[in-house]
Amino acid sequence: MTTIESEARLRADWERAGQGHVFQFWSELDASARSRLVACLLQIDLTQVAALGALARDPTPPHGAHRFEPPDVCSLARLALDARGVERARARGVARLRSGSVAALLVAGGQASRLGYDGPKGAFPVAPVSGRTLFEIFARRMIAARERFGARPMWYVMTSVGNDTATRAFFAEREWFGLDPNDVFFFTQAILPALDRAGRVLMSAKDEVFLAPNGHGGTLAALAESGALAHARARGVETFSYFQVDNPLALPFDPLFIGLHAENGAQMSSKVVSKRDAAEKVGVLGRVDGKLSCVEYSDLPSLLREARNERGELVFGAGNIAVHTIERSFVEELTRGGLRLPWHTAAKSMNVIDSAGQPTRVDGFKFETFVFDALAFVERSVTLEVDRACEFSPVKNKSGEDSAQTARAAQCSLHADWVRRANRPLPPPDEYGVHPVEIDPVLAEDAETFAQRAPARPIESERGHLWS
């Protein structure tokens, strides 16, 4: 078939689908622009577009009364009363980690533009003293796991179309942060066309469809489509430790979490933190009509949002921090024949072109899947409460709450506590009362290990103390 014939067939397919307008400016495009448009259209599943179009025309989910129940949380208080159980689970987790069957799965498709940085979010410097980037902090945790457990864990890194090239180049420029390149597998998240309220594909330019990422649930589909699942199977990976790039305190190789997950024969498990208060706008783990789920803040009735138990704790207080342990076999089941997760519509006002090719703004929809929706398919799951101060301080905003400043302060506060408990010297606090101190994950990832391994003095600089 000639190029002209293949382009004609493509055009006919899109016209039959009611989306022929994507070729409206064909006669105005040069050869290069036509090639770009054709390459883009060939990647889009028109059957999927038709299904999303139905959602765009009727995006309102069916209403009805739902039964909301809190999950069974393995709380901090519960753990404190079961020292033997904790040690048993931790030993089980250590055994899994020593076997090399646990791989890190990092969602890193975002850009750092909201932080005032031009590049992938993972390349943003967030360590308070060393200035290490998010990627390097996690790489140091990979090295720590290798040294601690004697295995070479795999690191699966999901990028986006927009930052894949830059992410790979960043790893290469930094010499893979001391890792073996064979232990890192990059794969790219899929993108979908945005649609207007009539279900028509939106165009960002005469030769470009308006495309957007398919949500963090797309991680599971991308694992299958990229060959990462097959690679994991060949490598002996049984379990993925899922986390997102914006949280420098995330611990992908936590023996307790992995051990509890294994002991319970769970398909997918979650870490949560106790909500600060009822008004904190964060999704919470719970059961909806009997199925485990993450309940969005706006979906939980106000009476339940405010409800407290006899101890004064929020009944629905298990705040989701996007840290999960997921079995490879479970991902294979969910993606066999296509991803089984439901689609969610996100109403947006988008910069596109109109029928005359002129820039305009149109109200329409982007479409996403959420990884936590996979919880509805599990038979067994563990919901583990962790200390927010130790494991959750995301970098989302340029300033204020959940910013680089608060993440750096959280790292300093955590590490200063370890230093203080080990009777090591601390630098003077800054004007906010924060001691500028940082502990390299390769040295220690908890207070007990730091006390055992810390040298007598840190490396001192103008920025503070670095223990390495």
pLDDT number for residue 62? 57
The answer to the question of residue 62 being in a domain is no
- pLDDT tens for the chain, 468 residues long, are 556 668 889 999 999 999 999 999 999 999 999 999 999 999 899 999 999 999 999 877 655 668 899 999 999 999 999 999 999 999 999 999 999 999 999 999 999 999 999 999 999 999 999 999 999 999 999 999 999 999 999 999 999 999 999 999 999 999 999 999 999 999 999 999 999 999 999 999 999 999 999 999 999 999 999 999 999 999 999 999 999 999 999 999 999 999 999 999 999 999 999 999 999 999 999 999 999 999 988 888 999 999 999 999 999 999 999 999 999 999 999 999 999 999 999 999 999 999 999 999 999 999 999 999 999 999 999 999 999 999 999 999 999 999 999 999 999 999 999 999 999 999 999 999 999 999 999 999 999 999 999 999 999 999 999 999
Is 57 domain-assigned?
Answer: no
> What residues make up the domain containing 17?
3-42
What is the value of pTM for the model shown? 0.94
Residues 12 and 115 in one domain: no
* Shared domain check, 150 and 112: yes
Q: Judge if 409 and 376 occupy the same domain.
A: no
CATH code, domain with 269: 3.90.550.10
Residue 416 lies in a domain: yes
Q: Same domain for 369 and 421? A: no
Question: Whole-angstrom Cα distance, residue 468 to residue 457?
Answer: 10
The answer to the question of residue 223 being in a domain is: yes
Are 34 and 175 part of one and the same domain?
no
**Claim to verify: residue 349 and residue 392 sit in the same structural domain:** yes
Of 365, 396, 427, the one marking the end of a domain is: 396
H or E stretch covering 272: strand 268-274
423: left (phi over 0), alpha (psi -120 to 50) or beta: left
Q: Are 321 and 429 found together in one domain? A: no
Q: Is residue 54 part of a domain?
A: no
Q: Which of 368, 396, 424 is the last residue of a domain?
A: 396
Domain assignment present for residue 60? The answer is no
Q: Is residue 53 part of a domain?
A: no
Q: Are 210 and 137 in the same domain?
A: yes
Q: Do 131 and 190 lie in a common domain?
A: yes
pLDDT of residue 7: 85
Residue 170 sits in the same domain as residue 150: yes
Are 206 and 25 a contacting pair, CB within 8 Å? yes
What is residue 3's predicted lDDT score, i.e. its pLDDT? 65
Q: Which amino acid is at 61?
A: P
In contact, 110 and 247? CB cutoff 8 Å: no
Same domain? For 12 and 111 the reply is no
Q: Is residue 160 part of a domain?
A: yes
**Could you tell me the CA-to-CA distances from 207 to 204, 303, 338, 352, 373 in Å, in that order?**
8, 50, 29, 12, 35
Tally of domains within the chain? 3
**Is there a single domain that holds both residue 19 and residue 126?**
no
